[in-house]
Amino acid sequence: MLILNAAVTVDLLIFTVQDGEFRVLLIERALDPFKGSWALPGGFALEDETLADAAERELVEETGIRQGAAHLEQLATYGDPGRDPRGRVVTVAHLALVPGLPTPQGGSDAKSASWIPVGAALKKRLAFDHRRILGDGIERARAKLEYSPLAARFCEETFTVAELRGVYEAVWGHELDPRNFHRKVTTTPDFLIPTGGTTTRNGGRPAQLFRLGQVETLHPPMLRPE
C-alpha cells in the first residue's frame, strides 16, 4: 500500500529582460497563508500530468505565452518540513526564460502580477522559502548564459548582436566590450544564424539580424567578467 505523505506543487521562476533589466514575475498573494505577500507563481501538480506539463500549464496561465515559445527547465526541489504552515508541501521549482513583454501578464485569477527587477525582488519579503528559490534561480540563469545559447530566449525571434549583448549585460549586471562580444558570438559555430535582414530600430548604422542556431552548448563558453 502506498502512503501519500506530501502535497506536490510546481513553482515558477519566470525571468525576462525588459528595459535593460533582469526581471522576475511575482504575484501578490490573494489568499492565506502569506496573504498580501509577494510570491512565485505556482500550483498543485494535477493527477495525470508530468511535472514538466504542470510547469508548462502554469507558465501559459501566467503569461499567456504560446506553448514552446519559452525555455523551461527544472531548477530544484524544496521540501523542508516547515516551509509551508499548512503541512508537508514539496515544490518542484522550474525556470522559464521568456522574451521581453511576452504579454502584459495577469493570471487567470484575481491576483496581480508584476515584472520585478531581481535585485528588488530579493529585497522584498517573499512568501514561503521563495527568496531562497529565487536566489538559486538567479544564479542558475546567470551560469547558464555562460555555456548555453539561452540568452537568445530573452530576445525576439530575430535580434541584433547588440540586443543579445544587452541581455548578457542585464543578467550579469556587467558591461561587456561590444567588439569582443561581437567577435565571440559571431565566431562561435552554429550560435547565430544571419537572416540576411537588417534593422535600424536601435538607431545608427543598420545592424544585421540573426536567429538562434542549433548549438546546445557553447565551446568555449562565454566568460562572465570578474
User: Where does this chain bind DNA (CB under 7 A)?
Assistant: 160-162, 177-180, 182-184, 186, 198, 200, 202-208, 220, 223, 225
76 binds, among its own copies, DNA, none (CB under 5 to 8 A by kind): its own copies
90 binds, among its own copies, DNA, none (CB under 5 to 8 A by kind): its own copies
Peptide bond before residue 81 is cis, with ω within 30 degrees of 0: no
Cβ neighbour number for residue 10 with a 10 Å cutoff: 27
86 binds, among DNA, its own copies, none (CB under 5 to 8 A by kind): its own copies
170 residue type, one letter: A
Which residue bears the cell 495577469?
A: 106
Residue 92 binding its own copies, by CB under 8 A: yes
Residue 2 binding its own copies, by CB under 8 A: yes
Contacts of 190 (CB under 8 A, 6+ apart): 213, 214, 215
140 binds, among its own copies, DNA, none (CB under 5 to 8 A by kind): none
At its nearest, how many Å lie between DNA and the CB of residue 111?
A: 38
Residue 6 binding its own copies, by CB under 8 A: yes
Residue 67 binding its own copies, by CB under 8 A: no
Piece in contact with its own copies (CB under 8 A), picked from 19-27, 45-53, 96-104, 200-208: 45-53
Nearest to 191 by CA among 143, 148, 154: 148
Cα→Cα distances 33→74, 80, 85, 86, 143, Å: 25, 16, 7, 8, 33
Q: Is 88 helix (H, G, I), strand (E, B) or coil?
A: coil
Residues that bind its own copies (CB under 8 A): 2-8, 44-45, 47-51, 74, 76-81, 84, 86-90, 92
